[in-house]
Amino acid sequence: MGEAPPVNRFLVFAVYFMGAALVLLFLGLIGGIIYKIKNRVSLPEGTGLVELGLPAGAQVREAILTGDKLTINTGTEVFIVEVSSRKVLLRVKATSP
């Protein structure tokens, strides 16, 4: 028997290429996990409490964590807290027209 038809050679090449890409992507995933584990951000010591100064009876309607920033919505005020330093970066009071 002679050489394989060109279509089959292309399919064999495609399978080898996809296999190599799969292995490289898997190695990248493992490398990313190891990088994240080794470069963790340590939080400062302490209780972890942040005083927002909310009035009695105030309720948190929504809290969104984006990276290192925590956004807290009480309906009348919005707070942005930096989690790593536990500091209130911004406090905005909502006013009705």
pLDDT value at position 6?
A: 76
Give residue for tokens 């799969």: 22
Among candidates 51, 45, 83, which has minimal Cα distance to 64?
83
Helix, coil or strand: residue 88: strand
Model confidence at 85, pLDDT cuts 50, 70, 90, reads confident
Is residue 42 scored above 80 in pLDDT?
no
What backbone phi and psi angles, to 5 degrees, belong to 16?
-60, -45
What do you get for the CA distance between the two ends of the chain, in Å? Answer: 86
- Please, what is the Cα angle at 66 between 90 and 51, to 5 degrees? 40
Mean of all residue pLDDT scores within the chain: 86
Higher pLDDT residue, 77 or 4? Answer: 77
Is residue 68 scored above 70 in pLDDT?
yes
pTM above 0.85, yes or no: no
